[in-house]
Structure 1
C-alpha cells in the first residue's frame, strides 16, 4: 500500500476512535433511558462510618461476632453466628434445632400464634426497596432473594434475642425473690448457649448498637408484629432498651422512651433515652438549632480600655483553642467573637483557677450539664470498653444524619474544651465525674482530643451555649489565658503580646 494511503487510513481510524462514545458515557445514557432516580441521601438513616472515625478507634465501629444488615454480611469472621440466626428462626417458626440445644425459658416453649415462613418472606419482599433506600450505599451486588433472606434471618434473630433477654431479666428478678424465700428453688433461667456464654451476650449488645450493623426499625417492627405471642406483649422499644441497658445501667430505662417518637434503628432507640432532659431544656429556651437564636449581646460600654481588654482576651482564647485542637479549631473569619463565646475557651485547671467549682451532677441524665452561682455541674461519665463504642457510634450517627440533633457531639466537644491534658482528666476523676478503665488519665485525654479533631462542629447548634458563655465570662477577668504576657506602657496602650502554651504541645494538645 502506498505510504500516503496508509497514513490516510490510519488518520481515518484515529478519527473514528475519537468519535466513539466512551463506556462511561454509555453507562450514564443507560441510567437516563431506564429512568433511574437518585434520592441524594434523603432516605438514608444507616451509614458507613467515615474512615477518619475508624482511625481514632477502629474497634468501636466494627462488629466482633455478628453481622446485621448488608455492610458486613460477607465478612468471614462473622459467619459463625449464622447458625445461631438459623436456630432462632427455626424456633420462631415452631420447630426445633437440636444441634445447638435450647428451647426457651426453663426449657418450655412459649405459646405463639402460627407463623409461616412464606408470610415473613412476602412481608420483607414488600419492604425491600424501602429498606435498601435506608442505606448510604446501594448494594446492587446483593441480589433481591439474598437481600430478603438477610432481612428475614437477621431481623428475626434481633427481635427474638430482644424477647429472650427481656424474659431472662424478668425471670432473674423472680428467681432472686424465690431464692431469698427458698434457696432450694434455684433453676436455670434460659436454656440457650448465647445466655450461657458470658462474653457472647455482652459482645452482642455492643455489636447490635453499631451504626454499620443496623436494620431499619420498621423492618424489626413488622417482624415483631408478625411473630408476636398470642398474649399482649411488651413493646419493641422497651425490649430494645432493656437489652442494651447493661452497657450503661440506669434505673427505669423504659420510662425514658418517648412513646410518640419514630425511630430509625436500634441505635436511635437507645440514644433517645439519654435525651429527655436536653430536649426539655431546648424546648424551654426555644432553641431550634439555628444560629439566629443564639446571639451575643453587644458591649454596653464604649470605654477604650474595656474594649481592648475584651479583644485581647477573646483573641488569646481563640489562639489557645486553635493550638489545643489542631485542625478542628482552625480560626478563620467565619468564627466570630460570638461563635467563640459559644465554645468553652478554658480547660478544667483554668476554670478552677477562675474560682469555678466543678462538681458531679447527681441523679440526672448523662448530657445534663448546668452552671449556676460559680458551680459547674457535670454528670458522671464512665469510659470503658462498653461505653466508648456506644458514645462513638452516637456521634458518628449525628455526624452522618442531619436530622439527628448533635447532642452527644455537643457534649464531647464540651469535654474536649475542658480537657487539655491528663491534669484536667485528673481533676474530673477526683470529682468522680470521669471514671475510666483506659489505664491512665493521659489515655483519656488523647482519646477525647483525637476524636474531637475528626468532628465537624457548629457552635451555633450547641445546647450548652448558655453554660459555656457564663463560664467564659467568669474566666475572662481571672485567668491568664495560655500564660500570655501582655505588656502596656504608662499610657495603657498595647505594646506587645507573647503567647506561651502551657506544657509540651504534642499534636496540638499538651499531655
Structure 2
C-alpha cells in the first residue's frame, strides 16, 4: 500500500513537471511570435532609449567608491540610501525656492514631465519594478532632483539672491565646502538625470531660456570649471556626464600629414614608456588645447593635452570609461586616451618627465601616486582596434624602429642612466682625447728632430 502511494506521488510529480515544461514552451513560442512581428528597426530604437546604466558588480568591485555617490543621489538607483538621506531636506527646500522664483504652479511642471514619463523611465537600464509601476512617485523624484540640480548649476554660475547668506548649500560657504562633493556625485554614471528633465523644467519656468538649446550645456560646462569655449555647440546631450565628456573632446583632432607613410607595422606593439621614447629621441610638448583628441606626432615631437591629476581624477575617468563601455555608439575616445597615457606611464620617472613638460599637473602629492592612478584606470579596459589614437601609435612605433633612433636609445640607456656611467664615459672620452694629443705631439716631435 505504501509503495503504491509513492508510485502515485511520483506520477503526479512527473505530470506536474511536464505541465510546467509545456507552459514554458508555450510562453517561449508566444515571445518568439512577438519578436518575429517586431522589425529590426524597432529593436534598434528600443536600445537607443537607454542612456543611464548600473555598473556591473564585477567592474564596480575594482573600485567600489568610484561609482557610488557619497553626498547626494540623483535619479532612482541610489535614492533612499541612508548616507544620502540628509540631502533630501535640502532638495525640498531648493524646490520651494525654485517654485517661488518661477511664479508657476507645481502642477504645470508635473503635467510637462508626465507627457514624457515613459521616455524618462526608458532612459534607465534595469529600472526597478517599484519605479516602473509607481508613476506618481517617479515623477516626484524627477521634479525634486531636477529642480535641485538646476539650483546647484545656477548657484555655481549665476547670481542667486534669494538664499540666505549662511545657507549650508547655496551660499559662498556651500560653494567652497559642499559643491565640490556634489559635483563629484553629479559625474557618476549611476547618478544621472535625463537631460529631458532639465529642459522640460526650464521650458515651463521660462520659454525664452529654452530658445537657446545650449543653455543647459553652458551651465554644466561652467559648473565643471572646464577651460572650454562655451561658444562651440555640443548639440543634444543625454545627461551631465555626457556633456562633460563632449566638452573634454571639444575641438577637431590634428590634421593628418599627407606626406607620412605608415610602416608595415600592424599596430599591435605596445607603446614604450615616456622615458624610453625620450631616450629614442622623441620630445614631449604640451598641445595647444586641452581636448583629449588633440594628440599628434610629427618631426619627433609628441604633443599631448595638459591634464590635472587630483583626488577626483580616478572616479571621474572610471565613470567616463564605463559610459563609453555600456552606451553603444557613444565612441571610445576617453578610453583610448587613458590606455595611451597608461602605456606612456610605467614608473615614477615617466610621470616626472611628463610633469616637467607641463603635460601632467600633479595635485595629489607624489609622482608615485599619479603613476598608480593611471595604472589603475586601465584595468579591465578593452580597446577598439580602430581607435582614434591608432595612427599616432603607428607613427611613434615607426619612428622608434629607425636604426639611428634605436642606436641612440641603446646608447643612452646603457651609458647615461646613472651618474657613475656618465662619469665613466666622460673619463673615457677625456683619456681618448689625451691619447690623441700625446700621439700628435710625438709625431710633431719626430719631424722636428729630423
Cα drift, residue 34 of structure 1: 13
Q: Is the 8 A contact 1:56 1:451 kept in 2?
A: no
Cα drift, residue 133 of structure 1: 0.9
Structure 1 unaligned regions, length at least 5: 95-109, 172-187, 287-295, 300-336, 484-511
Q: Is the 8 A contact 2:262 2:395 kept in 1?
A: no
Name the structure 1 match of 2:268: 340
Q: Is the 8 A contact 2:202 2:210 kept in 1?
A: no
Does residue 109 of structure 2 align to residue 120 of structure 1?
A: yes
Larger RCO, structure (CA 8 Å, separation 6 or more): 1
Q: Is the 8 A contact 2:253 2:294 kept in 1?
A: no
Structure 2 unaligned regions, length at least 5: 411-450
Counterpart-to-counterpart distance in 1, 2:154 and 2:3: 84
Counterpart-to-counterpart distance in 2, 1:392 and 1:268: 14
TM-score (norm 2): 0.77
Name the structure 2 match of 1:163: 154
Q: Is the 8 A contact 1:115 1:227 kept in 2?
A: yes
Cα drift, residue 204 of structure 1: 1.2
Counterpart-to-counterpart distance in 2, 1:448 and 1:136: 29
1:371–1:24 distance in 2 versus 1, CA, 3 Å: farther
Cα drift, residue 373 of structure 1: 1.1
Counterpart-to-counterpart distance in 1, 2:136 and 2:16: 41
Q: Is the 8 A contact 1:350 1:475 kept in 2?
A: no
For 1:187-202, what aligned pairs fall within 5 Å after superposition?
A: 192-194=167-169, 195=171, 196-197=173-174, 198-202=176-180
Name the structure 2 match of 1:99: none
TM-score (norm 1): 0.68
For 1:18-167, what aligned pairs fall within 5 Å after superposition?
A: 18-21=17-20, 25=24, 32=31, 41-94=47-100, 112=102, 114-142=103-131, 143-167=134-158
1:25–1:357 distance in 2 versus 1, CA, 3 Å: same
Counterpart-to-counterpart distance in 2, 1:62 and 1:7: 54
Q: Is the 8 A contact 1:53 1:451 kept in 2?
A: no
Name the structure 1 match of 2:391: 466
1:258 corresponds, among 233, 238, 246, to 233
Other structure's SS at 2:191 match: coil
Cα drift, residue 4 of structure 1: 5.8
Counterpart-to-counterpart distance in 2, 1:388 and 1:423: 20
Runs of 4+ displaced beyond 6 Å: 33-40, 229-234, 480-483
- Please tell me whether Structure 1 or Structure 2 has the larger radius of gyration of its CA atoms: 2
1:27–1:15 distance in 2 versus 1, CA, 3 Å: closer
Cα drift, residue 440 of structure 1: 2.7
Q: Is the 8 A contact 2:146 2:193 kept in 1?
A: yes
Number of equivalenced pairs: 392
Name the structure 2 match of 1:10: 9
Cα drift, residue 412 of structure 1: 0.8
1:223–1:35 distance in 2 versus 1, CA, 3 Å: farther
For 1:236-255, what aligned pairs fall within 5 Å after superposition?
A: 236-245=216-225, 249-250=226-227, 253-255=229-231
